[in-house]
């Protein structure tokens, strides 16, 4: 069987016992992997240079040179059964797991991740059972603890491929502090919920819980966005996180300029914090979209966004910087043209207003022979009188008839 190059999610059938070597080699778009209960062996480099969040049980990887998960740089949510045998190089170049120490420390942490943590373990493996929720199961005091990855049950649920809003409600009720608990990578559950493309109802529940339970909690939005950028999250996921900040936490700061600068300088694929060109384009788009909102003309906004699609050549720091500067230059030119157009439209509107006012009084005076106008007509004077701030009366001829005309 040949695995498609663009595979994103994989769920291994229960009848499968062996995943051959290099089965998912260089499947760089792979985001989620669910391995079955009966799986016994994962071949050498089976997930090499892929991304995966796996649920592993009874896996035998015994060869010392086996590099089953080599270069899975984004691998985080993983557990190993305590009795399994695994080669010491299985997690070679798994940059995120390096937070746990040496490769031996990584293996030990993953084997003992759920020791005395029944709720964590239940939620990690829930995609296989998808059983009925029994609230008494969540009364165990371990619900307040963090596993070897620093994750609470709420973190694990947010990473899961099986989502259940009732589980979120129970966890938040039983241990609300898990909303603001950070794992080994400094991430809170909201980040994983967005990253896992959790449905909007659940994300909204999390947002409202933050606002009601911890109204003064400050998210590190810049770091959260940067995490998605480093791990090549989709443009929609980055946009979704940014929109949450805009809509629900607009008083909190996000440094988009720094994100773009980091994406420019991290152009080396061998660097641990490398950002792809897609991440650079997405961050630049977020800045452009913020400024484009001030432009109330859709064709012009589309023209601005079209400038983002310019190709970056070459893919170097200078090439990326030239790309960003070119986009900003186009934006400034378009903004300048738009502002001049709006100035012209304003003058045109004033001219129309003046003509309308002249029309309103045309029946009283055909020409103006003096600079000082006399308004003896009490009816017209009443129509043109407005109050401004204090008790001062200001009389502007024909303003009220004009406004009444355009309000109908």
Summarised one tens digit per residue, pLDDT across range 206-217 is 999 999 999 999
Residue 77 within any structural domain of the chain: no
CA angle (172, 228, 93) in 5-degree steps: 105
Scan for tokens 């300048």, then name that residue: 336
Residue 65 within any structural domain of the chain: no
Residue 329 within any structural domain of the chain: yes
Coil, strand or helix at 383: helix
Radius of gyration for the alpha carbons in the chain, expressed in angstroms and rounded: 31
* Domain end residue (candidates: 321, 336, 360): 360
Looking at the structure, tell me whether residues 391 and 355 fall in a common domain: no
Looking at the structure, tell me whether residues 300 and 395 fall in a common domain: no
Looking at the structure, tell me whether residues 394 and 328 fall in a common domain: no
Looking at the structure, tell me whether residues 319 and 403 fall in a common domain: no
Other C-beta atoms within 10 Å of 214: how many?
13
Structural domain count of the chain? 2
| Percent with pLDDT over 90 in the chain | 32
Per-residue pLDDT at 347: 80
Alpha carbons 118 and 107: distance in angstroms, whole number: 20
As given in the structure block, the two tokens for residue 44 are: 């050498």
Beta carbons of 103 and 88 less than 8 angstroms apart:
yes
Alpha carbons 10 and 27: distance in angstroms, whole number: 11
As given in the structure block, the two tokens for residue 148 are: 């070897």
Can the peptide bond before residue 367 be classed as cis, meaning omega within 30 degrees of 0? no
Per-residue pLDDT at 256: 92
Looking at the structure, tell me whether residues 373 and 349 fall in a common domain: no
Looking at the structure, tell me whether residues 329 and 267 fall in a common domain: yes
Mean pLDDT over residues 376-387, rounded? 50
Average pLDDT for the chain: 78
Residue 389 within any structural domain of the chain: yes
* Sign (positive or negative) of CA dihedral 15, 20, 22, 23: negative
For residue 53, give the nearest of 79, 22, 32 by alpha carbon: 32
Looking at the structure, tell me whether residues 237 and 335 fall in a common domain: yes
Instruction: List the domain range (segments joined by +) for residue 400.
Output: 369-407
pLDDT surpassing 70 at residue 394: no
Residue 259 within any structural domain of the chain: yes
Q: How far is CA 256 from the centre of its chain?
A: 12
Alpha carbons 272 and 280: distance in angstroms, whole number: 16
Per-residue pLDDT at 68: 64
Residue 356 within any structural domain of the chain: yes
Top mean pLDDT of 43-47, 132-136, 160-164, 179-183 is at 179-183
pTM of the predicted model as reported, rounded to 2 decimal places: 0.74
For residue 123, give the nearest of 194, 185, 189, 60 by alpha carbon: 189
Alpha carbons 23 and 3: distance in angstroms, whole number: 7
pLDDT surpassing 70 at residue 145: yes
Per-residue pLDDT at 50: 54
Per-residue pLDDT at 124: 85
Residue 110 within any structural domain of the chain: no
Residue 281 within any structural domain of the chain: yes
Looking at the structure, tell me whether residues 250 and 382 fall in a common domain: no
Per-residue pLDDT at 343: 84
Beta carbons of 145 and 169 less than 8 angstroms apart:
no
pLDDT surpassing 80 at residue 74: no
Looking at the structure, tell me whether residues 348 and 324 fall in a common domain: yes
Residues 6+ apart with CB under 8 A from 99: 184, 185
As given in the structure block, the two tokens for residue 247 are: 């809509």
Looking at the structure, tell me whether residues 274 and 386 fall in a common domain: no
Mean pLDDT over residues 94-104, rounded? 84
Looking at the structure, tell me whether residues 342 and 242 fall in a common domain: yes
Mean pLDDT over residues 238-252, rounded? 94
Residue 169 CB-density burial (10 A; 0-12 exposed, 13-18 middle, 19+ buried): middle
Looking at the structure, tell me whether residues 270 and 310 fall in a common domain: yes
């Amino acid at each position: 069987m040949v695995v498609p190059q663009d595979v994103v999610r994989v769920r291994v059938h229960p009848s499968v016992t062996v995943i051959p070597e290099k089965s998912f080699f260089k499947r760089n778009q792979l985001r989620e992997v669910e391995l079955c209960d009966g799986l016994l062996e994962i071949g050498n480099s089976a997930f090499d240079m892929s991304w995966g969040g796996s649920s592993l049980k009874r896996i035998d990887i015994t060869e010392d040179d086996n590099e089953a998960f080599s270069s899975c740089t984004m691998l985080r949510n993983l557990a190993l059964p305590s009795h399994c045998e695994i080669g010491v190089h299985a997690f070679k170049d798994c940059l995120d797991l390096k937070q746990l120490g040496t490769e031996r420390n990584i293996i030990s942490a993953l084997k003992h991740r759920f020791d005395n943590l029944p709720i964590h373990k239940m939620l990690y493996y829930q995609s296989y059972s998808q059983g009925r929720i029994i609230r008494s199961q969540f009364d165990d005091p371990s619900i307040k603890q963090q596993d070897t990855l620093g994750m609470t049950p709420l973190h694990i649920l947010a990473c899961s491929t099986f989502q259940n809003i009732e589980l979120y409600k129970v966890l938040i009720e039983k241990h609300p502090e898990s909303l603001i608990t950070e794992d080994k990578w400094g991430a809170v559950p909201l980040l994983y919920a967005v990253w896992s493309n959790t449905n909007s109802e659940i994300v909204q529940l999390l947002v409202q819980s933050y606002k009601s339970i911890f109204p003064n909690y400050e998210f590190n939005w810049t770091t959260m966005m940067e995490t998605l950028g480093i791990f090549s999250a989709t443009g929609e996921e980055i946009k979704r996180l940014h929109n949450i900040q805009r809509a629900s936490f607009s008083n909190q700061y996000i440094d988009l300029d720094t994100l773009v600068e980091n994406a420019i300088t991290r152009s080396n694929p061998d660097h641990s914090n490398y950002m792809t060109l897609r991440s650079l384009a997405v961050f630049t788009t977020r800045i452009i979209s913020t400024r484009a909102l001030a432009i109330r003309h859709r064709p012009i906004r589309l023209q601005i966004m079209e400038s983002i699609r310019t190709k970056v050549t070459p893919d170097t720091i200078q090439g990326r910087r030239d790309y960003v500067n070119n986009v900003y230059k186009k934006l400034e030119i378009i903004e300048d043209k738009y502002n001049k157009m709006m100035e012209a439209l304003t003058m045109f509107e004033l001219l129309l207003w003046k003509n309308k006012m002249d029309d309103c009084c045309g029946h009283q005076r055909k020409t103006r022979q003096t600079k000082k106008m006399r308004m003896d007509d009490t009816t017209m004077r009443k129509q043109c009188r407005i109050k401004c701030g204090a008790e001062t009366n200001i009389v502007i001829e024909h303003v009220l008839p004009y406004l009444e005309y355009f309000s109908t």
